[in-house]
Structure 1
Amino acid sequence: MDREELLSATPEDGGASQQKQESPLISLEKDLEFYADAIKEVSIEIMVEGISAYPIFIAHQHEVNLGEVILNKEELNTNWTIQASTLEEFVEKGIISKEKREPFLKVYKKPEDFMCVFVIVPEGANFIYYPYKKGRG
């Protein structure tokens, strides 16, 4: 009987911990929605000024020595700070190895339509592409 109780409790507990893990990403999506126009503006600026054809934005909740802060969570009362960087800086700092540069470029989405976001959480970091809403700007 105890064993059955444990087994039946597992899916619920698993579901609850799953939700907790997703919550930072839910807050990230809200912030990216809120930040979208500003991020797109900076992205276009990076390309127009010839700094890079591949803008990358870093989303984090701590301190990161990469790129430049463009949207500070403390100042904006949001959950995530966004920093602007480029593919070139990521390669230079070894985050993307020289060997991975070409494969990265193959999956890099049009910066006019998507923001490339390097999301840093305590468990690790990963790239996501978040679409800009159509009819903006």
Structure 2
Amino acid sequence: MDREELLSATPEDSGEPKKQESPLLSLEKDLEFYADAIKEVAIEIMVEGISAHPIFIAHQHEVKLGEIILNREELNTDWTIQASTLEEFVEKGIINKEKKEQFLKVYKKPENFMCVFVIVPEGANFIYYPYKKGKS
């Protein structure tokens, strides 16, 4: 699922009175703010040979997966970001071993996109968020 799909369902489109703003709007703002730091960690994970497939977890609660790299309480933002890898996701059973190849087919270049596993009360899903253009 791309971020456009996640962010496109807005109450304004339905003609109904505006309800609570989607938490995904605040996620997009935080990912924009965090982009350089996330990209730096992704490159570090790849260069150090930890994994060729970094995955970042965005959440607002406590998650026992990966390591915290950006804490929402310390940074006064809405989302905490943790760094993980495809290997950890497979090891913990979040990505089924049989589905690993299928996942890799849709996994976007980590030099251009951050792979984010977004956890919200309704469930969790992967999104690919592009790094800003013109930034290295």
TM over 0.5: yes
Higher relative contact order (CA 8 A, sep 6+): 2
Task: Tell me how far 1:135 sits from its aligned partner.
Answer: 1.1
Matches for 1:92-111 after TM superposition, within 5 Å? 92-111=91-110
Larger Rg: 1
Residue 7 of structure 1: aligned partner: none
Moved over 6 A (4+): none
**Amino acid corresponding to residue 49 of structure 2 in structure 1:** G
Residue 18 of structure 2: aligned partner: 16
Structure 1 gaps of 5+ residues are 1-10
TM-score (norm 1): 0.86
Matches for 1:11-90 after TM superposition, within 5 Å? 12-13=15-16, 16-17=18-19, 20=20, 23-90=22-89
Task: Tell me how far 1:16 sits from its aligned partner.
Answer: 3.1
1:133 aligns with 2:136: no
Q: Percent identity?
A: 84
Instruction: Tell me the secondary structure at the aligned position of residue 52 of structure 1.
Output: coil
Please provide the CA RMSD for this pair. 1.2
**Amino acid corresponding to residue 37 of structure 1 in structure 2:** D
**Amino acid corresponding to residue 90 of structure 2 in structure 1:** V
TM-score (norm 2): 0.87
Instruction: Tell me the secondary structure at the aligned position of residue 22 of structure 2.
Output: helix
Structure 2 gaps of 5+ residues are 1-13
Once the two structures are superposed, what CA deviation does each residue of 1:34-55 show, in whole Å capped at 9, x if it has no partner? 0000000000000000000000
Distance in structure 1 (CA, Å) of the matches to 2:39 and 2:94: 23
**Amino acid corresponding to residue 35 of structure 2 in structure 1:** A
Task: Tell me how far 1:12 sits from its aligned partner.
Answer: 4.3
